[in-house]
Amino acid sequence: MKEILRFAQNDMKKSPCHLERERKNPKKSQGVFQLISNCRNSKTDLQKKAAFTMAEVLITLGIIGIVAAMTLPALINKSQQKILVQQFKKMYTNIQNTINLIQAENGAPFECYNTGFGGYHLTECEVFWDKFLSKYQVLQTCENFDYDCRPRYKTKSQVLAEGGEILNDACSMDIDSYGVFNYLSDGSMLIIQRNADVAHHSVFFAVDVNGAKGPNKWGYDLFYITLNRESMKTDVIVANEVCGMKEKGGMYINEILLK
């Protein structure tokens, strides 16, 4: 800009003779105008370089949308799984504490547990479950056949056909036939099998950590648990050492507890 002003001031000071000579030799007088033109062109070029075309903006937004569509479902599933893991750990701890409490009140473990494959102790299961449920606030109880009241879960055959796993193929995992579904005040569900025709099922039960909410999948929010006792010198604990099932991508109880 200083250069432009200097040229302009010089032109104003010129005598008519100088102007006459410059008309005869126009190259010199064109310098100032060329400088102004160059400045204007430079400004226009900078404006062009600083702006984005509509096509460039649309392409960028499209790429962002594709990346989001690819990554968001995985992030959401991972976040949901973390929440379900924490919910199960909390419920697992509550169940074990309740068992410990009623055993202490009874002075000994109730005769309702398994000591291995086929080692069933069942004589006090009815008393055990009555005592156990008395420690919880049960909001609603649903029978196994009442699908308007309780969720539908996949059967053992469905889980295996879709790539799932089971710890022991001899386990029927048949909560649909024998389960009694208890909605608890914390939003979870306790599914107890109380049937005189298959009394040994009484040492097995299932939990759904968030009740009727999804995903209602084995190894995600739904788990099959055994009342287990390793020896007559130990207390009853909750485990899946005998029967356990998980759908594809799910986890067994011991896998969750290690997280």
Split at pLDDT 50, 70, 90, the class of 80 is: confident
**CA dihedral of residues 79, 80, 86, 89 (deg, nearest 10):** -140
Q: For 199-238, how does the pLDDT look when each residue is reduced to its tens digit (9 = 90+)?
A: 778 899 999 999 999 899 999 999 999 999 988 888 898 8
Stated length of the chain: 259
Average of pLDDT values for 79-97? Answer: 91
pTM here is 0.71
DSSP string, 176-215: HHHEEEEEETTS-EEEEE--GGGGGGGGEEEEETTTT-S-
Please, where are the H alpha helices in 25-53? Answer: 26-50
Regarding predicted confidence, which is higher, 181 or 23?
181
Residue 116 in this model has a pLDDT that exceeds 60: yes
- pLDDT value for 12: 45
40: tokens are: 């204007």
Q: For 148-163, how does the pLDDT look when each residue is reduced to its tens digit (9 = 90+)?
A: 999 999 999 999 999 9
- pLDDT value for 96: 95
CA–CA gap between residue 156 and residue 123 (Å, rounded): 28
CA–CA gap between residue 12 and residue 7 (Å, rounded): 9
